[in-house]
């Protein structure tokens, strides 16, 4: 009798759990649509933050180190992320090809410069004067 009751309760629990998933999937689809809209608006905002004018970028504490570790081409800076913890910049060459990615961790003043063309990590150190 106890085994039969245990089987019935287990079966009821499994069926109930399986039936609740379709309701969750409907909500997940709505969240995905909202995420796509958010990503699109972020991409539009990122495009606005591209700049060939290095004057505004030269005020950044990591700017001098970035320029010293790049080749002599003129690069366009684009902000990917700039929040209270980190700043991520992408540097593209005049042809629009992404060449470098920089990651600046603000609370430790650590800067990483990565050559995205396969050159690997070019710089990874804590900046002294920031």
**pLDDT at residue number 109:** 93
Helix ranges (DSSP H) in 49-100: 54-57, 63-68
3-class state of residue 111 by DSSP: strand
Q: 98: pLDDT confidence band, cut at 50, 70 and 90?
A: very high
Report pLDDT digits (tens) over 64-91.
999 888 887 788 999 999 999 999 999 9
3-class state of residue 123 by DSSP: strand
Task: State the pTM of this model.
Answer: 0.58
What is the mean pLDDT of the segment spanning 97-124? Answer: 92
- 8 A C-beta contact, residue 104 and residue 110: yes
Report pLDDT digits (tens) over 15-66.
776 665 444 444 444 544 444 444 444 444 444 455 555 677 888 899 999 9
**pLDDT at residue number 45:** 47
Residues with Cβ within 8 Å of 80's Cβ and at least 6 positions away in sequence, in order, are 46, 88, 89, 90
């Amino acid at each position: 009798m106890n085994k039969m009751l245990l089987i019935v309760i287990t079966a009821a629990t499994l069926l109930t759990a399986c039936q609740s998933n379709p309701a969750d999937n409907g909500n997940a689809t709505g969240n995905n649509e909202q995420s796509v809209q958010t990503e699109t608006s972020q991409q539009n905002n990122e495009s606005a933050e591209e700049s060939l004018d290095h004057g505004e970028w030269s005020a950044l504490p990591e700017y001098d180190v970035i320029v010293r570790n790049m080749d002599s081409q003129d690069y366009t800076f684009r902000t990917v992320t700039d929040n209270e913890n980190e700043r991520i910049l992408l540097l593209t060459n005049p042809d629009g090809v992404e060449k470098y990615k920089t990651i600046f961790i603000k609370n430790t003043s650590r800067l990483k410069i990565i050559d995205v063309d396969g050159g690997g990590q070019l710089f990874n150190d804590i900046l002294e004067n920031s």
